[in-house]
Amino acid sequence: MFSLNRAQIVGNLTRDPEMRYTPNGQAVCSFGVATNRRWKDKDGNTQEQTEFHNIVAWGKLAEFTSQFLHKGNKVYIEGRLQTRSWEGQDGAKRNRTEIVAENFITLTPKGSTGTTESASPAPTNIGEDVEEFPIKEEKPTKKSEKAEAKPAKETKDEDEIDLDDIPF
């Protein structure tokens, strides 16, 4: 039987990523992301709810997240849910559900840090090793070939993301 464990969120980092290494040298980075939900209740009042998500990245992705993400940055995270259990120092059993990141895309515009607290510049490139969604290029038809021959209007730089264009 088919099953699916997939998490996709867009939100803001609540803290700077914390980079660590396991005893065998594996890189692990953890950070938090907040997402907001707004709706109107039955009386027409706008309500808002914030969810806080714990994110963990491993290996090369951990190194990229610690290098390119900073508190306040808007980010798209894709991964899977995982729940860990352990016994605390007080003997109580603890649980934590996390998103194990498999991909991220920084949505903070170039040259912006996301907060006024951070003095370091925003990333300009998340690196070739970070895999983003593949874009399928369609072969042009005869009609579209004619349309491409006309000079196109000047457009924005393809690397820039306008946050107003995101439908959520």
> What pLDDT, in 10s, does the model give residues 66-108?
999 999 999 999 999 999 998 989 999 999 999 999 999 999 8
What's the CA dihedral at 143, 146, 147, 152 to 10 degrees?
160
pTM equals 0.63
Can you list the domains of the chain with their CATH numbers? 7-137 (2.40.50.140)
Strand locations in 41-156, DSSP E? 46-58, 74-87, 93-106
Burial 13-39 (b: 16+ CB within 10 A, else e): bbebbebeeeeeeebbbbbbbeeeeee
